[in-house]
Structure 1
């Protein structure tokens, strides 16, 4: 039985995982270069699109008034309230307030939300399960999946990666089983947990299925720019390996998932040569 504290940590990890995916999505301009003002603007955009009454409730509990498109100037006065969420996404601080965490989930459009739905609401059907698994980059394809009668929560990192619940129809989430992953496969920019004998579709066969490695599973390929913060207190925040003469950047140490080369810590030389001089950007 997983505790509420463990569930909350899983929820936060899932939100952070989805944040990394959303950085290349529709609202990437708000998320790649984080600031309180950009998060405030993103919050407005998300709420304009949302029909979820829980989002409006979380908003009112955090900001002290109900969301309305005419309250834009009022929300501007609350910009500093986005600071804890900004530092949470940057990995500088943690979030303890559940409603603030729910706002973080809204900002990256992570579902299921809010937190009480995350821990208690069963997913209605297999199609939705597959959709949610795709959104956070985790795919479970166990042969006995249809026999599961309990919710399964799987954590995979980016330094931190995500969580997904697999729930049988109509079954209330009470007991949680944590299966040991056996295999994984590189998918675009991250590893996915897969069935070791998976023969499901050709799309996931682009890279070899390999034994699950917890440390390597945290690896995520990231896109950088000349405004990316590469160092903190003199320590590198990214790793890289060259492919066809150009560096590819990752969030943590390990080996390159396609070439097998050991990743190196980013250096000022690499940043100046390939990023600051736009040589990296010319690749795209």
Structure 2
């Protein structure tokens, strides 16, 4: 649950308004899949189970996933997380001092309803204008992301993405063959794969979501290399 809370806060800082559980799970899946391929559906199921008051304990069987989540929370391992995380977190709710009675508030709202609605609409319009012009955007163009101007139609169609420097610089689609360097010298994966909407296998230079299907890319394996890339 702490991992979901952290990724939700990070998404909100990037400009995502009220990130859903699915969006948070997708981001966590990308993070975990750097070391161990794991679907957002599984992470979301564990999160829902943790929210269930009838569930006494939630246990993720894959040690790699537990380690990746602990590292994401800036802990060396799960033991350190347990040692430094309190069992119960107390939340203090500040006391609100009322200077106006409820009856006075209701009368004020009734008398000024129209004015308040107009002010609210204007405020939303101004904030929306400032937000969409402040935020930087990017879109996928065949083999890589490029920075573009805001386009409401593209945003509604899901084409426009929030600008990420790392995606612009490091996320590319490549043609993989026998000469491709699939792993670094230390053995760490540096090529990920996923299928196009038409079922064509495609290769990318970084982890993340497929730019067209939105599905989580998988880290390359020796089996996939021998069967598809370099038979």
Which category describes the TM-score, using the shorter chain as reference length?
A: 0.3 to 0.5
Which structure has the greater CA radius of gyration? Answer: 2
**More helix, by proportion:** 2
Q: TM-score by structure 1 length?
A: 0.30
